[in-house]
């Protein structure tokens, strides 16, 4: 019996290797990318790149184990979920109200150690943010939030 179950598992494992969700890799231009519309200093860009962009832009740097199912599905789910909540490549396409809200959420997530996801940090040691890196991100996001809110008030007053 145990042998049969094992055989079945092996077959299922092999079978699922043939299924691959579409990768989050786009060569399309991203005119709404945040850095094209707002100031994103170099140090902030660097942090976003190593710690956030894999799940919050249109381009993920895939690790080798993404080739092995069911990891592919697991990673795809995080990327799709992350992008749906916040996509830095589509940022300027959001309403000003939504932009400000998302940036406020960035501050909250960083302060609460909610992002990057724990499972991501486990493997990407360079994504574990130091206190300094967190402060850089928080300060940038707080200023950006103010800038967007001012822009929104001006827009509404017109």
Supply the minimum distance, in Å, between the C-beta of residue 109 and ligand HEC. 4
Nearest to 127 by CA among 57, 78, 54, 58: 54
CB of 36 to ligand HEC, least distance (A): 18
Asked if residue 54 lies in contact with residue 120, where contact means CB atoms within 8 angstroms, the answer is yes
Q: Looking at 33, 34, 55, 136, which residue binds ligand HEC (CB under 6 A)? A: 55
CB-nearer residue toward ligand HEC: 106 or 144: 106
Closest separation in Å from C-beta 157 to ligand HEC:
27
Give Cβ neighbours of residue 33 (< 8 Å, ≥ 6 apart). Answer: 57, 88, 89, 91, 92
Do 56 and 82 meet the contact criterion of CB atoms below 8 Å apart?
yes
Under 8 Å between Cβ of 88 and 94: no
| 44 lies in the binding site for ligand HEC (CB under 6 A) | no
- Give the C-alpha separation, 145 to 143, whole Å: 5
Q: Which of 117, 142, 149, 151 binds ligand HEC (CB under 6 A)?
A: 117
Tokens of 98: 């939504």
State in angstroms the smallest separation of the CB of 151 from ligand HEC. 19
Q: Shortest Cβ distance from residue 31 to ligand HEC (Å)?
A: 22
Size of the site for ligand HEC (CB under 6 A): 18
Footprint (CB under 6 A) of ligand HEC, residues 57-116 = 78, 81-82, 85-86, 102, 105-106, 109, 115-116
Cis peptide before 141 (omega within 30 of 0): no
Which of 30, 120, 140, 148 forms a contact with ligand HEC (CB under 6 A)? 120
The encoded tokens of residue 48 equal 């976003």
Cα dihedral sign, 24-43-148-118: positive
Which residues make up the interface to ligand HEC (CB under 6 A)?
A: 51-52, 54-56, 78, 81-82, 85-86, 102, 105-106, 109, 115-117, 120
């Amino acid at each position: 019996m145990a042998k049969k179950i094992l055989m079945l598992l092996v077959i299922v494992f092999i079978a699922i290797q043939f299924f691959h969700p579409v990768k989050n890799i786009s060569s399309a231009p991203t005119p709404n990318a945040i850095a094209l519309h707002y100031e994103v200093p170099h140090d902030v860009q660097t942090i976003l790149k190593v710690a956030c962009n894999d799940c919050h832009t249109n381009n993920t740097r895939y690790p080798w184990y993404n080739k092995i199912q069911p990891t592919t599905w697991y990673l795809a789910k995080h990327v799709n979920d992350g992008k749906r909540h916040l996509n830095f490549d589509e940022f300027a396409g959001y309403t000003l109200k939504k932009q400000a809200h998302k940036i406020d959420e960035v501050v909250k997530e960083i302060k609460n150690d909610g992002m990057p996801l724990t499972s991501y940090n486990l493997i990407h040691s360079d994504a574990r943010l130091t206190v300094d890196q967190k402060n850089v991100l928080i300060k940038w996001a707080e200023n950006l939030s103010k800038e967007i809110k001012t822009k929104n008030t001006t827009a509404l007053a017109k």
